[in-house]
Amino acid sequence: TVVVLDFGGQYNQLIARRVRECGVYCEVKPYTTPLEQLKAMEPIGFIFTGGPNSVYEEGAPKADPAIFTLGVPVLGICYGCQYMAHTLGGQVTEAQEDTAREYGKTETYYDTSCKIFRGLPERGISWMSHGDYMAKVPTGFALVAHSDACPNVAIADEQRGFYGVQYHPEVNHTEHGVDMIRNFLYEVCGAVGDWSMGDYKKTAIQAIREKVGDGKVLLALSGGVDSSVAAALLAEAVGSQLTCVFVDHGLMRKNEGDEVEAAFSRWDINFVRVDAEARFLLKLAGEAEPERKRKIIGEEFIRVFEEEAKKIGRVDYLVQGTIYPDVIESGAGDAAVIKSHHNVGGLPDYVDFKEIIEPLRLLFKDEVRQLGRELGLPEYLVMRQPFPGPGLAIRVIGDLTKEKLDTLREADAIYREEIAAAGEDKNINQYFAVLTNTRSVGVMGDGRTYDYTLALRAVTTSDFMTADWARIPYDVLDRISTRIVNEVKGINRIVYDITSKPPATIEWE
Ligand code: XMP
């Protein structure tokens, strides 16, 4: 185990992710963790994270200094580096304007005879974010990297296996940052890099079993990747003690509800699928304004879930599929309505339970997908693209009817089928059809038609905050268009959305 000791920086989970990418198991622990507890983890290395404080300030976070006497290598990053220097007899001061207060991309020069830089280029960009300066480096340490402004960007005591870097090797902006972390893990700590998501699964299941005991567990399944993987993990861990409530609001894509149900049929859990389509449509009837539609759906979702929870009675644990990016910022991705509700108000007050379990809290999206595969979830579920909690309700523009939803479902299914068949799904991050509220004149056979216009949307994006429209080949668009107007009643015209975000958003509502 490598222990990432958390001093409160913003990239701390990212460090953990990098370590795991190197095939090394690690856990993030608060800096206040007692030494005995850390020792019991039998760490082969420590990584001290960055943090917002200055180490010379009153009340700055400090770990037990005896940590440096354990004979275990340490890599200190930013604050972690300064904490190490400060504790081992160096001196850290506030940087003056002309001495090494650095933010952002910085040209850095490395001593490649140092173990953590071995085999890497002698210069490269590193990502700095510090206002403090190591005026005096502790005895035994050598300077192993510098920038134009700062002579001691990295320090090393190779004898004791102590390394400190002022920059952030864990962020993508630092060239070869992951290689430096890997060097620390393999060359300094002697890690072999054979840890995998399969191991994570075993550890997580073990931890859940210990925590839950013979308690009862409740989970709201949205059908998205996160809640499905969380459900599968809990199903594997505590099986029959788990109740999954799957609120089918009738706003899902074609076959989606059945697919979700089928995916969970292999576990002996209490799976409750609530067919709430009629209820939702009734509540939504005549409502055309997007935000009010969202609000109605969110509220109704809670109400249905609440009713089901009441039938079950007291549970001990409520599971949420919160993943690491939700922890930093909520909003993007397939955050289900129930989740954003929970996230906003803290603990939900409508279910009687003891504690919340968030088994995916430390995982990034691609790790969640990998875990889903390990748990035997089907690929179509694991690879599902983001789908908004309000579902197709915000993809039928204006007021909803069951007919419009069914029309959209059919068209959307053809769209997805053809995109996948053309292999374009690998180049596109999110794509879907929108039933516009516009009807236009067409001609079919010998007759005049007056039917709906369907819009196709497809975007490439890494964070869903900004996006570009995908350049789908014309012949693929042509096939999609031809099939939809021929096969779906009520649509006689197809348009392709060629706006980026901003100024447009990804969804139309
Ligand atoms: P926009 O349309 O804002 O969408 O560019 C960005 C991402 O968020 C998804 N989205 C939602 N997800 N509830 C959700 O859970 C919502 O109300 C919602 N609105 C948009 C959208 O699909 C895209 O991935």
Distance CA 351, CA 320 (A): 13
Count Cβ neighbours within 10 Å for each residue of 416-425 and write b for 16 or more, e otherwise: bebbeebebe
Q: Are 243 and 268 in contact (CB under 8 A)?
A: no
Residue 386 CA to ligand 1 center (angstroms) comes to 8
Distance CA 331, CA 218 (A): 24
Please name the residue whose Cα sits nearest to atom 11 of ligand 1: 388
CA dist 502 to 350, 388, 458, 506, Å? 38, 19, 14, 9
Domain 197-382 has CATH 3.40.50.620: yes
- CATH 3.30.300.10 region(s) of the chain? 395-496
pLDDT block averages, 10 residues each, the chain of length 509: 90 87 90 95 96 89 95 96 94 72 85 97 90 88 92 94 95 93 97 92 96 95 93 97 96 95 95 96 96 92 89 91 68 31 40 86 88 95 92 96 98 98 95 97 93 98 88 98 97 98 94
ipTM of the complex: 0.98
Domain 2-188 has CATH 3.20.20.150: no
228 annotated to bind ligand:
yes
222 annotated to bind ligand:
yes
- CATH 3.40.50.620 region(s) of the chain? 197-382
DSSP category for residue 68: G
pTM higher than 0.90, yes or no?
no
User: What pLDDT does residue 347 have?
Assistant: 40
CATH fold for the domain made of 395-496 = GMP Synthetase; Chain A, domain 3 (3.30.300)
Kindly report each contact of residues 458-461 with a partner whose C-beta sits within 8 Å and lies 24 or more positions away, as own/partner: 458/419, 458/424, 458/428, 458/430, 458/431, 458/497, 459/428, 459/429, 459/430, 459/431, 459/500, 459/501, 459/506, 460/427, 460/428, 460/429, 461/429, 461/430, 461/501, 461/506
Please name the residue whose Cα sits nearest to atom 8 of ligand 1: 332
490 annotated to bind ligand:
no
Ligand 1: list residues with CB < 6 Å: 294, 332, 335, 386, 388-390, 430, 464, 501, 505-507
Residue 481 CA to ligand 1 center (angstroms) comes to 25
DSSP secondary structure letters along 156-204 = EETTTTEEEESB-TTSTTSTTHHHHHHHIIIIIS-------HHHHHHHH
Catalytic status, residue 170: yes
Nearest CA among 331, 338, 256, 265 for reference residue 300: 338
Please name the residue whose Cα sits nearest to atom 9 of ligand 1: 388
Distance CA 47, CA 443 (A): 68
